[in-house]
Chain A
């Protein structure tokens, strides 16, 4: 179980950015929404705790890939929504390609073994 957790961390680290950028591609979302989506779509496998999630969001924002904005809807408290910037879009495309190639490469290696 220990090395599962280690794998968890490594994978997460590498893919975390991709995950978040993907999730805000279609529309702006706030932090909690993003964390729930990741948990849901990954079937509970991937979970971000509050510290890692937001530190990542802030990092991406600093790099200029995300833009956060406080939005106040009637009757609600204001929330911080993140959306993809132009720069972020480019990065997402690149990272997607890279990830795609990586996965295909792994697949090729592992499937050859299986085959």
Chain B
């Protein structure tokens, strides 16, 4: 029975992920066109990551992702620590939670229109601001969820013994929240790495993050190097996500018994 469930689960996972798995033959084809039939295989697109100027967009997006993740996680950490210490039924904190959530729910196109009208286009700072705003909700709620598993007595004891907020945050709260902080950082990075709408609408030809470069390459169907980049990045990102989830989620529960015990 368990084997049947596993096979069905595997089939479902493959079915739902099938469109993304098309990137595998695209990265290995020798054809210049979007044809995943794989009549002849080649590693040319992997070589062209280095030879055709794709390292620039990759490094731009990587730096952008790291800066976004650092800012979003840092701001969220301070806010969640403060919220954790202020704990109580304060309506203002619920309003704050709702506002942070709104940043996740706002359609990126709507935000792009607002940014375009307010801050203009072509500035790296605007793009960073947009990415941090869009990715803020994930680290905030991941950390909020992680903080519910903390023992509040430890923090209270530290405060009673005279520790300042800086000491409590740096020596008690953050070390105990390490797994959640890493997961929050990774989610922020992932959101920034894949964010396309702001990257297309708020940048100029001098500022070329990877999503914009991929979008332009796909429009002309002449360069499948992005497929190779995605084939290299996707397994790494999935593996890191799985590892962080395994470390963050409580998995101490025993498995359900297959049969009830006979008395």
A, B assembled together: no
